[in-house]
Amino acid sequence: MIVVNNKVIISGSAGFIGFHLAKKLINMGFEVIGVDSLNDAYDVRLKNLRLSQLSNNKNYEFHELNLSNPNSISQLQTLNTQAQTFYHMAARAGVRQSFLEPYGYVLDNTVATTNVANFCKVTGVSSLILASTSSIYGDSGENLMRENKDERIQPPSVYASTKLSGEILAKTILDESDTKVLIPRFFTVYGPYGRPDMSILRFIHWIINREEVQVFGNGEQRRSFTYVDDVVAALVKVMNHNSSDTFNIGSNNTVSLNRVIEIIEESTDIKSIVVNKERAIKDPDVVKPDLSHIKQTLDWEPTTLIDQGVQKTVEWYLENIELLKSLNYINK
């Protein structure tokens, strides 16, 4: 007898993308087991705001666990969820910060991923979906970055190194096991409930509060901004893919930071005060995804235009302005 269940574990369910994914899967009828350490990498109030949107749903249960700690893995095993899918979205993000505290990034990214991969192997999870990042490609110039071809042996930041080693360890641990490893690599995701260290949200905050908009460099660096709803749609498609694979999830239409600022000005009708600062070390100029693989395999491409996405993010900021105003938008 085959017991059919639609339970899904999402680590980092109080995080930006994990939260959106949890909301989507619950709406689709999945039972979501959310896991998050609720650490203070950024303001916990934002995590709690996300969690409050999910609680009171009978298809959502939450466990506060830090997956870099082996005890947490034992606790997760004790729950005996029999979940067939594990979305490992928990990670410590931020390129700049990673150079300042590499050890924390190794724990939260590499060690936690190792633990999760082991958990999947031992409990017979059929798909591990491991969130990764475009950062591992480094600066691409005008070239489109292709999966399993353009990865750097030495990624350009501590953050990218810890994520890439997580990918490699998960694949190695689960090689020839019953667990598929599916790796979505995100390219500059933005949208409502985003993190305060992300450029679009900081720009919105500064502009709406008529503060100086700090731009590193001349602001002409372009990003593959991808709206979070598009990313979640891709993640849902990834779940049903039948073999281990890696997918770029991003946008080919790169947009400069200066253009983003213009869009925010238009949407809020406020003129910004831009201050250009020195570029951070090894902050790549542009990373462009080759999307042919995900298009062909999963029939996915991003559909949200940057203007719409920014507009929705501005609206969300205004709805939650009291809390969002009080967050810290400057790096520690």
Partner 1 sequence: MKKIIITGGAGFIGSHLIEKLIKTEVEEILVIDDLSTGKSANLSKFNDSNKVKFINKKVEDVQNLDETFEGYDFCYHLAAGVGVQYIMENLSKSLLTNILATHEVFEACKKNNIPVLVTSTSEVYGVSEDKEWTEESRSLIGPTTKLRWSYAASKMIDEFLALSEYEEGKLNPIIVRLFNIIGPNQLSEYGMVVPKFIDAALNNNDIIIHGDGSQSRSFTWVDDVTSYFIKLAEMKAYGEVFNIGQTQEITIKDLAELVIKTCNSESQINYIKHEEVFGNKFEDPTRRTPNIDKIVNFTGMTPTKDINSMIKEIVAHKKK
Q: Which residues bind partner 1 (CB under 8 A)?
A: 1-5, 28-29
Q: Which is nearer to partner 1, 29 or 141 (CB)?
A: 29
Q: Which helix (H) or strand (E) holds 277?
A: strand 273-277
Q: Which is nearer to partner 1, 5 or 328 (CB)?
A: 5
* Beta-strand relationship, 189-190 and 127-130: unpaired
Are 158 and 150 a contacting pair, CB within 8 Å?
no
Q: Which is nearer to partner 1, 3 or 330 (CB)?
A: 3
> How many Å is the Cα radius of gyration of the chain?
19
Rounded Cα distance, 174 and 301, in Å: 29
Are 222 and 185 a contacting pair, CB within 8 Å?
no
Q: Which is nearer to partner 1, 5 or 253 (CB)?
A: 5
Whether residue 42 lies in the annotated active site = no
**C-alpha 84: how far from chain center:** 21
Shortest spacing between CB 4 and partner 1, in angstroms = 5
The angle formed by the CA atoms of residues 190, 195 and 197, to the nearest 5 degrees, is: 100
Rounded Cα distance, 200 and 193, in Å: 12
Six token digits for residue 83:
């979940």
**C-alpha 313: how far from chain center:** 16
Q: Which is nearer to partner 1, 28 or 168 (CB)?
A: 28
Q: In this structure, what DSSP letter does residue 200 have?
A: H
Catalytic option among 105, 137, 159, 329: 159
Q: Which residues sit opposite 164 in a β-bridge?
A: none
Query: Residue 305 class from Cβ within 10 Å (0-12 exposed, 13-18 middle, 19+ buried)?
Result: middle
Active site (catalytic) residues: 159
